[in-house]
Structure 1
Amino acid sequence: MSFELELKGRRALVTGGTKGVGAAVVAALVEAGVRVVATARTVPSGTKDVHYVAADVTTAEGSEEVARQALAHLGGVDILVNVLGGSTAPGGGFAALTDDEWQKELNLNLMPAVRLDRALLPAMLAQGSGVIVHVTSIQHELPLPESTTAYAAAKAALSTYSKALSKEVTPKGVRVVRVSPGWVETEASVHLAERLAKQTGTDYEGGKQIIMQSLGGIPLGRPVKPREVADLIAFVASPRAGSVTGTEFVIDGGTVPTA
């Protein structure tokens, strides 16, 4: 028995679609037969299966342009996956976080999702169907005070907003689901582990262990792979998960201790 996701012909917008989890989501959806528009700061060369929109979605103008081009290119959107996120805040705890740093974290981790939802939901509601996936983070449950306070708070805001949105639009046919990754072995994570390894005189595996220890350990013994997150997102966005809405799926190798 094959496990067909029944996604062929669906139309999707994916933010942050050229690196890490975003790139993996784009690949997984394309493989499932989805027509994909993805955002990027710079459009990659040599792409034919994906329509990329070069825009800064941390701004209102950038989000508006992405929504406009997605609707124009696809004729509508069935799936919206808000992957874009990250942190540029300095270490040093609360005292290092100026108003500007707080605003940057909100502009990167909360507002793109809010703006794109607001732009694309009317069309989804008009057609009576759609799926919105917000990528949050286990950091909103396990913040690291030295370095991720603002990022974690912004992701917590995204999670709460997502829950409220699901209650509002699910009765009208649009599902809203959160996917909460732990430490994912993206390009940025690899560079961090390599930098820590160099600083401490160890190898890449040693650098990974330092990161895992800072998180309190990962029972699985390794970081999550981007494609594993992407496969989960593809499933929850598919008709196979047609009764799934308003909930948050944690994919972290067991990092978050639960009862």
Structure 2
Amino acid sequence: MDNGPYLLDMSKEFAGKRALVTGGTRGIGLAIVKRLHAAGAEVIAAARSLPDSLPEGAGFIQADVGLPEGVDHLVQETIQQLGGLDILINNVGGSSTSTAGALALTDEDWQTTFDANLFSSVRLDRGFLPYMVEQQSGVIVHISSIQRKLPGNMTMPYSAAKAALVNYSKNLATQFGPMGIRINTLAPGFTETESAERLIGRMAEQSGTDYHAARQLLMDQLGGIPLGRPAKPEEVAELAAFLASSRASYITGSEYVIDGGTIRTV
């Protein structure tokens, strides 16, 4: 009996596929690069700064995709190196604006956050979709956040940008589905990346507690995590790999939440 994609050799799942992961040198992005590369993909990681380490054989392009010229550079370099693209993981993003509340936020705060978390994806999609249309195949995964459903009081622009990203992604999937291109959104909750560990360390120092107490406090501020711990970057990467694979060949226009049960609404 032929079970199709369910009998894949996982070590060769992405053999022959060309992939780009933005924000691919640390945290969730690096975990995705490692997962795709281990399964045979030709992967390029993109980021503003040089990586400390990447899997042997993975490529790197230095680019700031929060800027239009950075996106143009990344698209041109990727096509030159790979000759096209099969998988685009729009992972870059984050928030560095004031946490003092809405009235402390400037137009520049809003614009910078939207450039990083929304317009970077819009511009990259616009750059690579023509190549995917030409080959009548391709996968795009937008990394969003549960904050689009659970807005953070201190990260208002970030939450709004991620909500807009999900709306945009849904519309894009409808437009390009007939051309064989699948587009989905992945929304992680609290993930224990290196940057999260540094944040927890600072919280522990400021409050005079230890790492585990500060970690628990952060989970409590989210309303608790039923599974009792943050996600690991590798767990988020596994879901991204699934969405990029032929195992998800009939999934498009969807949002997948990976948050340990943090969001309890239906």
TM interval, shorter chain, is: over 0.9
Which residue of structure 2 aligns with residue 126 of structure 1? 134
Cα distance in 1 for partners of 2:27, 2:233 equals 6
Out of 247, 254, 259, the position equivalent to 1:240 is 247
Letter in 2 for 1:118: R
Q: In the TM superposition, what is the alpha-carbon distance from 1:201 to its structure 2 partner? A: 1.4
Alpha-carbon distance in 2 for matches of 1:97, 1:177: 30
Q: Does structure 2 retain, via aligned residues, the 8 Å contact 1:7–1:239?
A: no
- Are positions 1:24 and 2:24 aligned together? no
Match of 1:223 among 230, 239, 254: 230
Mark the runs of 5 or more structure 1 residues left unpaired by the alignment: none
Q: Does 1:213 align with 2:220?
A: yes
Structure 1 stretch displaced more, 80-89 or 38-47: 38-47
**Residue 188 of structure 1: how far off its partner (Å):** 1.0
Aligned-pair RMSD on alpha carbons?
1.3
* Post-superposition offset of 1:210: 1.1
- Say whether 1:108 aligns with 2:116: yes
Q: How does the TM-score come out when normalised to structure 1?
A: 0.97
Offset at 1:50?
1.1
The aligned counterpart of 2:3 is none
CA distance in 2, matches of 1:96, 1:59: 24
Contact kept in structure 1, 2:24 and 2:33, CA below 8 Å: yes
Q: State the Cα distance separating 1:3 from its structure 2 match.
A: 5.1
* 2:238 partner SS: helix
Q: 1:108-142: CA deviations, max 9, x gaps?
A: 10111110100000000010000000000000100
Once the two structures are TM-superposed, the CA of residue 26 in structure 1 deviates from its matched residue by 0.2
How many Å separate the matches in 2 of 1:215 and 1:4? Answer: 38
Q: Give the distance between the partners of 1:129 and 1:49, measured in 2 at CA.
A: 25
Q: Partner of 1:70 in structure 2? A: 78
Residue 45 of structure 1: how far off its partner (Å): 6.1
Q: Is the 8 A contact 1:11 1:76 kept in 2?
A: yes
Q: Which residue of 2 aligns with 1:11?
A: 18
Q: Supply the AA of the counterpart residue of 1:148.
A: T
User: Runs of 4+ in structure 1 displaced over 4 angstroms?
Assistant: none
Structure 2 matches for 1:1-259, cutoff 5 A? Answer: 4-5=9-10, 6-44=13-51, 47=54, 48-145=56-153, 147-259=154-266
Structure 1 window deviating more from structure 2 (167-176 vs 47-56): it is: 47-56
Alpha-carbon shift at residue 83 of structure 1 (Å):
0.3
Range with greater deviation from structure 2 (45-54 or 189-198): 45-54
Over 3 Å counting, the alpha-carbon distance change for 1:148 and 1:29 in structure 2 is same
Change (3 A) 1:254 1:173: same
Q: CA deviation at 1:198?
A: 1.1
